[in-house]
Chain A
Amino acid sequence: AQSVAQPEDQVNVAEGNPLTVKCTYSVSGNPYLFWYVQYPNRGLQFLLKYITGDNLVKGSYGFEAEFNKSQTSFHLKKPSALVSDSALYFCAVRKGYGGATNKLIFGTGTLLAVQP
């Protein structure tokens, strides 16, 4: 069975400091991994994805994520946080190539709070 865990309900960081939002996954075979961001009263917005290739993936708004197969992790990172990055972040996973379903399994979300 596929699953994804976001161990932190909330992450607090000061503006200008680096940020990390953690995600670990469980899936048989190779995973497809995604990060989404949700601002208040809005739908989820796609940030970045890992499908194959380079383990470091770059996405929108200066975010990046590192795929680590041995640790089954896909942590979201940004070198310098902005107050405007404050939002709810979701990690999602599905079985990769050859998977029988197009369902994404979402984590429970991590609230990122960036203090000025």
Chain B
Amino acid sequence: DAGVIQSPRHEVTEMGQEVTLRCKPISGHDYLFWYRQTMMRGLELLIYFNNNVPIDDSGMPEDRFSAKMPNASFSTLKIQPSEPRDSAVYFCASSIGTGVMSGNQPQHFGDGTRLSIL
């Protein structure tokens, strides 16, 4: 059973460039989460979707960040323009969360995209 797949695994780019991170959730999962991990700030939730609809984007740092989920099997996180302080590991996670027991299922994480902005 394939897990959450993220691409690319590593991205190095120059300040000001557009960066697009990609995620394929586990088939059948209806929740998708984007996280950012840094040494200074730990693990931060950026945004999450339910059935392809953004539910909470309060963690998105600023307007340079945007996320989309055009269908149940694909999501993107875009940074435009990128800045050195965006350097971090970005994780995508998915979970099943339907019905009255919503929320008692674990989130399954991808292996992340290590982003370096020079």
Binding site for B on A (CB under 8 A): 32, 34, 36, 41-46, 49, 51, 90, 94-97, 99, 101-104, 106, 108-109
Contact = CB atoms under 8 A, between A and B. Distances in A.
B69 to A, nearest CB: 15
Contacts of B14: none
B41 to A, nearest CB: 9
Contacts of A49: 104, 106
Given A102-B31, A102-B95, A102-B102, A109 B107 contact: no
B106 A102 contact: no
Contacts of A99: 103
Tell me whether chain A's interface is mostly helix, strand or loop, or mixed: loop
A104 B42 contact: no
Nearest to B6: A43
Given A99-B103, A108-B42, A109-B42, A44 B109 contact: yes
B109 A45 contact: yes
B97 A102 contact: yes
B72 interface: no
A46 B104 contact: no
Contacts, number: 59
A94 B91 contact: no
B45 interface: yes
Contacts of A34: 106
A90 B35 CA distance: 14
Interface residues of B, number: 26
B25 interface: no
A102 B48 contact: yes
B4 interface: yes
Contact of A101 (B4, B56, B101, B106): B56
B38 to A, nearest CB: 12
A41 B102 contact: no
Given A43-B93, A96-B104, 5 more contacts: A43-B110, A44-B43, A44-B107, A46-B108, A49-B104
Contacts of B112: 41-43
